[in-house]
């Protein structure tokens, strides 16, 4: 089994003080660094994702003229109108200053197409175009992904669901994720969707051992040693 750590969108715009600050988003930084150090020590790659939007991206409320966090349509797809975020080259699009970039083996951008949003690390929301991540992982014969970052109920969730559809085994580090929670239960709903038996992601809770955790098999079970919920 070859693994990679996938760190999703731990960027200034989604942390304290940003226009789309996720509650407790800053708390994912230390978790990401801890896991990244473990992966590097084990000779396993660390990959980071960045939202990287043009300044006039169609998902922005400022472009649509609609109120933020309301629902509309963009290029035939349902779209939430977001505050401006992740604008290419901006300080807000940069990684959180506490995130140790020296541990990254690769960085991939998403959301560069003006006419479609891209929550997933692998595809745009319409599955019309892929990022380069899948090819990069397959070139290195990676079969198992450990995922954390922002936000649970959007970019983490859709990245995990796409990874499972692409045939990867996936673990999600729960303590390394935080949700937008436009609705109060969105975060927990996202974890439930990712671990649905037909999908098969595993959830690591606080205290899981990043070096030695192995995915469960069969129906959902609780791994007492690692304190993590497994769904296979």
Contacts of 53 (CB under 8 A, 6+ apart): 59, 60, 85, 86, 87, 88, 93, 111, 112
Give the model's pLDDT for residue 210. 44
Burial-class residue 218 by CB neighbours within 10 Å (0-12, 13-18, 19+): exposed
Residue-level pLDDT at 198: 65
The arithmetic mean of pLDDT across residues 183-211, rounded, is 79
Residue ranges of E strands in the chain? 3-8, 46-51, 71-74, 77-80, 106-110, 144-150, 169-178, 202-204, 221-223, 228-230
> In sequence order, which residues have a C-beta less than 8 Å from that of residue 201 and are 6 or more positions away?
160, 164, 170, 171, 172, 194, 195, 231
15 is catalytic: no
Quick check: helix, strand or coil at residue 79? strand
pLDDT band at 199 (very low <50, low <70, confident <90, very high): low
- The enclosing H or E element of 29 equals helix 27-41
Average pLDDT of the chain is 89
**How buried is residue 8: exposed, middle or buried, by Cβ count under 10 Å (0-12/13-18/19+)?**
buried
Average pLDDT estimate for 178-191: 97
Decide if 174 is catalytic.
no
Given a contact cutoff of 8 angstroms between Cβ atoms, the answer to whether 210 and 35 are in contact is yes
Question: Which of 15, 110, 124, 162 is the catalytic position?
Answer: 110
User: For position 208, what pLDDT does the model report?
Assistant: 53
Q: Indicate the pTM of the whole model.
A: 0.88
User: What's the pLDDT score for residue 207?
Assistant: 57
pLDDT value of position 204: 73
Under the banding of pLDDT at 50, 70 and 90, the label for residue 29 is: very high
Cis peptide before 103 (omega within 30 of 0): no
The per-residue pLDDT for 62 is 98
Read off the pLDDT of each residue in 160-176 and give the average, rounded to a whole number. Answer: 98
pLDDT-derived band at 212 (thresholds 50, 70, 90) equals very low
177 counts as catalytic: no
| Model confidence band, residue 16 (pLDDT cutoffs 50, 70, 90) | very high
3-class DSSP assignment, residue 174? strand
pLDDT at 218: 26
- Out of 51, 113, 155, 226, pick the active-site residue: 155
User: Token pair for residue 124?
Assistant: 């745009």
- Residue 227 clears pLDDT 60, i.e. is over it: no
Residue 196: pLDDT band with limits 50, 70, 90: confident
Q: What is the pLDDT of residues 91-119, one digit of tens each?
A: 999 999 999 999 999 999 999 999 999 99
pLDDT of 214 over the 60 cut:
no
Q: What is the predicted pLDDT for the residue at 83? A: 98
Look at 218 and 1; give whichever has higher pLDDT.
1
- Domain 3-54+88-198 -> CATH class: alpha beta
What confidence tier does 224 reach under pLDDT thresholds 50, 70, 90? very low
């Amino acid at each position: 089994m070859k693994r990679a750590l996938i760190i999703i969108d731990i960027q200034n715009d989604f942390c304290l003080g940003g226009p789309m600050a996720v509650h407790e988003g800053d708390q994912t930084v230390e978790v990401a660094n801890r896991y990244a150090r473990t992966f590097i020590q084990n000779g396993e790659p660390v990959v980071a994702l960045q939202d990287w939007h043009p300044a006039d991206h169609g998902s922005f409320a400022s472009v649509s003229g609609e109120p933020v966090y309301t629902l509309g349509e963009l290029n035939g797809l349902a779209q939430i109108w977001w505050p401006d975020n992740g604008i290419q080259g901006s300080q807000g699009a940069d990684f959180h200053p506490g995130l140790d970039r020296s541990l990254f083996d690769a960085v991939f951008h998403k959301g560069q197409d003006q006419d479609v949003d891209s929550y997933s690390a692998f595809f745009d929301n319409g599955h019309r175009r892929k990022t380069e991540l899948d090819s990069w992982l397959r070139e290195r014969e990676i079969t198992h992904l450990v995922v954390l970052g922002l936000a649970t109920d959007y970019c983490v969730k859709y990245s995990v669901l796409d990874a499972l559809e692409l045939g990867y085994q996936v673990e999600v580090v729960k303590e390394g994720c935080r949700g937008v929670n436009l609705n109060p239960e969105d975060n927990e709903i996202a974890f439930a969707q990712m671990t649905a038996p037909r999908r098969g992601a595993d959830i690591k809770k606080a205290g899981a051992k990043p070096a030695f955790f192995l995915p469960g098999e069969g129906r959902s079970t609780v791994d007492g040693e690692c304190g993590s919920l497994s769904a296979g």
